[in-house]
Structure 1
């Protein structure tokens, strides 16, 4: 398999060296992908649902189809502008000269994508890499075999295999893949695996973009509209059953609002996932391993004496059809050393921690690893600006959740333990490009005279330039 990886990589590089994609080819590639992708959306939703055991078709359309189509359209609309060289001032010291920035494709880009949004997080970086003029080698997660088969058919229908290739396999293939001498390596996944990917890439000095995760807080200010706040937090937390890297990982709220918050969560969850529709909109946990990990977090909280509140009673049909349906739960004021507060949850469990002062809540956030997402809820501007002045996060959404990822004009990326680098839109185009400075000199040139043996002219010129 390692030999196959190298053969495929070399084929991609040789094809790129022989013909670097120009604007016309990039547009044709993106348009062809858009057409084939849109035509295959029913197959996409079916494949993803089979991999999860059950996943809401609406959530697949919103989180996978909408994001991918929007990203392609944005790239097509802006590509000519992004590719155009940018003029810069050379400075009078270099007269006569012209300076510019050119955006040059890197070559062959590697993409390691995760299982939680297997289409979106495979195709969105691929779209940026294609727009920037690169060839792409994709390694999707082994936990989504039906979706991988769908992606393989889609990409083979749209691209020659020496322009875009896909390979499947487990952790051993991912490790070998990370060790290939890519011109850029893009990884989405856990922080622990991200460290291994970065170490493997370092052997070739391959630049990396790491889209990781962590514990993304939702901070509720004392003046927030609690009913609306609960609604938007639940949307962010329960979408895809919490299997979202930017899902609210825990909530901080004033201690005098705790009981109202719990009651609102119970009421609103029951309204969303009622037995009348068979709770068909509630997504399953991807596999047995993740299911056991999440139930282990809930069990650890219970053993420690923390209050665990289920928000949904599953009907018998759901229990019989899919063992990986995990009801959403609140965990009230867990200790910081409990398992649920030590790792990214990535599921429908929501720790709720109370605070006495707003400054105390901010201090709690800023003394921990920098999150991939930060959510702040308030009815006034002062608490928001106070939070924005103190918290460093990969992305921020005010008075809602998740939407910052869907905004094509905003870059997306982590900071510190939640990742490095950006993609989406123009930032994605630049991530997969070399921003190459070019200085064009004309006559006369000072270097014609500024050379050894140095004399009075050099002394005079240096005094003039350094005064």
Structure 2
């Protein structure tokens, strides 16, 4: 496989270099206003052409940085999906740009007053990605950043230098630096990037780093969107189809080797169905990945440190008395690790004691914590005491059961009778809540709005006499409209109880 070496642009960039690019992009943005539909469509077309023309070089670079995952999976995630998002945005950007009518106040609307929202580009948007999807996590937000009429600076993970270099070469081939730029370098470059005075900053990563991004952005009052993580729970209802549930959960958990912010972490199962369900998980894993760690399609972990962290996490649970069940071996003995390819067998930690690391840390790998529950009330009360997760998954044939769980829990998003699929709907807002994220975006209209300013526009109409109620001297019209209106409402609400018990 040919290697892709970082070029000068991916060496640590000093603050002056970053400020120069930001200044040039902002000057070009202001000079261009307004940003036409044709300009936006052209940029989306060029971004599509860029990914298609450079797809093999980009894929080679990704496999140099992240060699332990499948080339086919990388092609689909990092190239194919962004291309599809770009094509969808290209078709719909004209629709997204239309002003949105809102009701004007009475009585002015009777005389032709109008209210609307116009979506205006913000300016220059910074996008910071994570290593687990090195191109996708900067390219996917870029789609609606460009559709909204902005310029963008992309900062992929500093752990992925070859991918960053290849993306930089591709962008330079199709875009001027004043439209779109790629910033590469190490940790210091990332810190400097977060401190720039962007019109909006988007970051994907861990809650700990997200807090530092907010701290760096705060002096400039830069608005931030944080897509973070958390321990995504799964609740299996008593009426769930165990075979279907197990198959879908295994597929979701092993996606990218479990190295995904939406991967299931905590699996809650009715106590009476615990053992049958573990058997179903084992069978589903064996069916999807025969040979477990020896299967070439089974994704490895990104580096040695991550590999050792997960091993120590499982071992700590075992030492503390938790039962650990390797999945996919059917009860047989077999290799649990392939160190050369950093593959670790999917393992279920069954009902670990309080304080176990696996209960507190985001797993981000092929480890599941399985916990039996006796009743939904106790389970939901416990879930509400945890940090709010990025995703929540419910398996049940009962709509009422699933809605009951939703009504008594928190999460950024929800998938019912599967896992992670709410992320695949372009027009659903995607994001976390609490420590799992701040703000939301999407690959459709919600992303377009995230990277736009919703500008309120009101057009006045009607006779000047209507304004007399709002202006001095206050006389009979004021008494009729304001004092009279309040008196009427007071009579309506006078019997409302003053206090209810909590």
Give the TM-score, by structure 1 length: 0.93
Q: Where does residue 99 of structure 2 map in the other structure?
A: 85
Shift in Å at residue 26 of structure 1? 0.6
Tell me which residue corresponds to 2:16: 3
Aligned equivalent of 1:440, options 439, 459, 466: 459
**In the aligned structure 1, how far is the partner of 2:465 from the partner of 2:164?**
60
Partner of 1:429: 448
Q: Note the C-alpha offset of 1:276.
A: 10
SS of residue paired to 1:180: coil
| Structure-1 separation of matches of 2:208 and 2:292 | 41
Structure 2 unaligned regions, length at least 5: 1-13, 486-502
Partner of 1:51: 65
- What is the Cα deviation at residue 106 of structure 1? 0.5
Match of 1:398 in 2: 416
The aligned counterpart of 1:171 is 187
Which of 411, 417, 426 is the equivalent residue of 2:429?
411
Matched, 1:205 2:221: yes
Note closer, same or farther for the CA distance 1:214–1:276 as it changes in structure 2 (3 Å cut): closer
The counterpart of 1:374, out of the listed 364, 378, 392, is 392
SS in 2 for 1:256: helix
Q: Contact 1:108–1:182 (CA<8 Å) still a contact in 2?
A: yes
Give per-residue Cα distances to partners, 1:306-327, cap 9 Å, x unaligned: 11122257988x83642x2222
- Using the alignment, how far apart are the partners of 2:402 and 2:231 within structure 1? 20
Query: Is contact 2:69-2:297 (8 Å) kept?
Result: yes
- Within 5 Å, give how 1:287-366 maps onto structure 2: 287-311=303-327, 319=338, 321-322=340-341, 324-366=342-384
Contact conserved, 1:70 with 1:408, CA < 8 A, in 2?
no
SS at match of 2:364: coil
Deviation digits for residues 260-293 of structure 1 (CA, Å, limit 9, x no counterpart): 1222222222222224995111111111222222
Contact 2:292 2:328 in 1 (8 A): no
Contact residue 93 and residue 465 of structure 1 kept, 8 A: no
The match for 1:119 is 135
Q: Does the 8 A contact of 2:294 with 2:338 survive in 1?
A: no
Asked whether the equivalents of residues 140 and 167 of structure 1 are also in contact (C-alpha less than 8 Å), the reply is yes
1:221-260 to 2 correspondence within 5 Å?
Answer: 221-260=237-276
Superposition misfits of 4+ residues, deviation over 6 angstroms:
313-316
SS in 1 for 2:410: coil
Structure 1 residue ranges without an equivalent (≥5): none
| SS of the residue 2:344 aligns to | coil
Tell me the distance in 1 between the aligned counterparts of 2:339 and 2:405.
45
- Could you tell me which residue of structure 2 aligns to residue 268 of structure 1? 284
SS of the residue 1:249 aligns to: strand
Alpha-carbon displacement from aligned partner over 1:98-146 (angstroms, at most 9, x marks no partner):
2211000000101111011112111111111100000001111011122
Secondary structure of 2:415 counterpart: strand
What is the aligned partner in structure 1 of residue 123 from structure 2? 107
Q: Distance in 1 between matches of 2:182 and 2:439?
A: 23
Contact 2:135 2:156 in 1 (8 A): no
Partner in structure 1 of residue 30 of structure 2: 17
Residues in 1 aligned to 2:422 and 2:241: alpha-carbon distance in whole angstroms: 21
Asked if the contact 2:293–2:338 (Cα under 8 Å) also holds between the matched residues in 1, the reply is no
**RMSD (CA atoms):** 2.3
Between stretches 16-25 and 180-189, larger displacement belongs to 16-25
Asked if 2 retains the 8 angstrom alpha-carbon contact of 1:48 and 1:55, the reply is no
2:206 matched residue in structure 1: 190
Superimposed CA distance per residue, residues 323-342 of structure 1 (whole angstroms, 9 cap, x where no aligned partner): x2222111111123111111
How far 1:198 moved relative to its partner? 1.1
- Report the Cα distance in structure 2 between the residues aligned to 1:449 and 1:310, rounded to whole angstroms: 77
